[in-house]
Structure 1
């Protein structure tokens, strides 16, 4: 007998304690869509972070996708064993189901997939790590978790002296990677990287630059790569998304390795990049890739193509995304870097149970104990939008509530 989930859709906007800015966008408030899944007496939570400059989704479109799209046929999904349910969920194309033809909705799918997986794991009193192990292709996950040092991200709202100069010698010594958000001017970005390098031991730490697609003119992107090639380990998303020809020229002509981010949302994107020799690395993010199982598929395809991966985050994740990302970061094999965000600095500690926790000396964020992903957003100010799959195909009148699982 199939167990059918009951799905409620919420949105959350939470002011950040300080802004986060890069060449493509500046953010002062979180924007997340959340799904609460009630399944066989258990409650699971999922989150997506829709960003127009990443997947084309915004908060409204992601919520509407969850409310107004015919839900998947649940027959045969949540029935039988824990293992059968995980494998059936992994076989669904939720980004495609929630989006239109040629327009997947991965952030909406991430909220739905994570909520379903969290609830199914809690129903069976299992850790979400058990579900990932069932769904992952061989070699994608390690045999045991490893808590890596998280990358430190320098955005344009703070300079190197303000961010790195405030760290203790011990905290500086434990840094393994610094990601520098690019400035509009390539020469100024080169100078910024040189300032950052003054704070770290080059034998112990690496530096990358993330342009977020800001250098859209191919000549500018190529000039930037030439200026940065001797100073960074890779250049992330240096030009407009999926400009495979320019990305190929950057790698061929400047010798600067490219990391894809906005250009790599689906495994098909990785196939295109590989066919054009346009990338060496990929930034995999849970929301961008359609959920933790979607992220596993991206990791598997990258591995098959010989592309190495970073496990990244969306700026201002407010709960379930943070928890699922920490779990993947601990278990994914052969990562070049991981990110953990700065939720503990941006948001009040009582928004989630447990609260966000990052060791800011060793730059480590451990996965949470289960069952499920181990986190509930019971302190978040959530706006209830409606119930997914309900007969009415229009959102309910929004109400604001603080919910508890």
Structure 2
């Protein structure tokens, strides 16, 4: 296999959304993703990253630049042995730091590259990507895969009554988690939560509020006091890594904190534990650097006693949602799982196979392999993507800007 060509291509994709998605920190009407196509050991794999400036500080341009101009080890050298050795070698890399730096990692860019490499390697061996997870997953994985019920996210573009009220009684009864996106005003946010509680049974459906880091420390403390008796946790209530305020929220109001933008790399979790600043963490595949990097993050959270949610980036267009579904079915003890609303935002022909979800049972089935079981559709590639650079023999050296 080592004599076969190794290439990496970078693309950008921008897809208008049929419905906006809004929260206290941002509003999104267009999906912007970086895509990587990798040819490795005679097979082709695809990866995606969703750079969001308010999440990791990355933009679409910076992610492309990182992929085109970073100095990396000779990646093809990782894939000269067995299937298992290639997976372990890829899992051992810190691509986020290699594409950025320790101080300013580039996880969305790393996610696109890691996913493409893993997809290609699995396809070259005729393996499902689940087999790659099993190589490095350890105790974090279920003994038998299980598809969890997907959470419902109430964003600021619709009220709880509009979103939850449109569901059938059966669909509402099967909800296991509802996340309400916070508003700038904590009291108005509590009203949203109380409205959502009218449509679900809190005894079997957990509720959370996600502020996306938009509240000041004072507002976050006020919100936590207002919400402590009506939510199960408060996600990213103030600016990222404000450990002192997060500690005060947990200890002073009794409202558990879930980290999101504050938790990009495993070292963030160490800081949170040192400051007694969190009970939960939201792991997102793009935010954390790829499926293997996310699995590493989940393993570290488990070691530290933090419980985890598997979240999504808004408006994932293909490989990202396939990777997320795979992790959701195999990772054990998740408190909640998100699966996106691509069926509302996009035409179904972006990928082969298309995005599907059972909205009555809230089931998002993982795709069968090989690899992650998905490729961008020819129409999507022709009409919604742009090649960001020439085909290169792997990003092993810095290329001219």
For normalisation by structure 2, the TM-score amounts to 0.96
| Other structure's SS at 2:20 match | strand
Q: In the alignment, is residue 13 of structure 1 matched against residue 14 of structure 2?
A: yes
Aligned to 2:374: 375
In structure 1, C-alpha distance between the alignment counterparts of 2:266 and 2:60, rounded to whole Å = 24
Q: CA deviation at 1:203?
A: 1.6
2:153 paired residue number: 153
Per mean C-alpha deviation after superposition, the further-off stretch among 157-166 and 278-287 is 157-166
Distance in 2, matches of 1:190 and 1:72, equals 50
1:127–1:372 CA contact under 8 A, matched in 2 = yes
Taking the aligned partners of 1:191 and 1:127, their CA distance within structure 2 comes to 45
Partner residue, 1:403: none
Task: Single out whichever of 145-154 and 97-106 deviates more from structure 2.
Answer: 97-106
Q: Does 1:67 align with 2:68?
A: yes
Q: Indicate yes or no: 2:112 matched with 1:131.
A: no
Matches within 5 A, 1:56-135: 56-74=57-75, 76-135=77-136
* 1:390 shift after superposition: 8.4
CA distance in 2, matches of 1:260, 1:372: 30
The CA distance in 1 between the partners of 2:314 and 2:75, in whole Å, is 32
After superposition, give the CA deviation of every residue in 1:182-201 in whole Å (9 maximum; x if it has no partner).
00000000011000000011
CA deviation digits over 1:58-90, x for unaligned, max 9? 000000100011232236410111011101111
What is the Cα deviation at residue 394 of structure 1? Answer: 4.7
Aligned residues of 2:33 and 2:316 also touching (Cα < 8 A): yes
Q: What corresponds to 1:336 in structure 2?
A: 335
Say which structure is richer in helix.
2
1:205 matched to 2:213? The reply is no
Q: CA separation in 2, counterparts of 1:288 and 1:310?
A: 13
SS in 1 for 2:10: strand
CA contact (8 A) 1:284 1:312 kept: yes
> Is the 2:75–2:396 contact (alpha carbons within 8 Å) kept by the matching residues of 1?
no
CA distance in structure 2 between the partners assigned to 1:394 and 1:365 by the alignment: 42
Cα distance between partner residues in 2 of 1:40 and 1:74:
12
Tell me the distance in 1 between the aligned counterparts of 2:274 and 2:397: 45
Question: Cα RMSD (Å) of the superposition?
Answer: 1.3
Alpha-carbon distance between aligned partners in 2 of 1:39 and 1:276, rounded to the nearest angstrom: 44
Could you list the per-position Cα deviations for residues 357-384 of structure 1 after superposition, in whole angstroms to 9, with x for gaps in the alignment? 1000011101000000000012422110
CA contact (8 A) 1:178 1:206 kept: yes
**2:273 paired residue number:** 274
Corresponding residue for 2:388? 385
1:175 aligns with 175
Question: What's the CA shift for 1:92?
Answer: 1.1
Moved more, 295-304 or 380-389: 380-389
2:287 alignment partner, SS class: coil
Q: For residues 205-246 of structure 1, what are the alpha-carbon distances to aligned partners after superposition, in whole Å with 9 as ceiling and x for unaligned?
A: 11100000011x211110100000000000000000000000
Given that 1:72 and 1:97 are in contact with CA atoms closer than 8 Å, whether structure 2 keeps it comes out as no
TM-score w.r.t. the length of structure 1 is 0.95
Shift of 1:2: 3.8
User: Which residue number in structure 1 is paired with residue 33 of structure 2?
Assistant: 32
Cα distance in 1, alignment partners of residues 396 and 292 from structure 2? 26
Give SS of 1:231's match.
coil
Structure 1: stretches of 5+ with no match in the other structure: 396-405
Do structure 1's residue 320 and structure 2's residue 347 form an aligned pair? no
The verdict on how the C-alpha distance between 1:30 and 1:181 changes in structure 2, with shifts beyond 3 A counting, is same
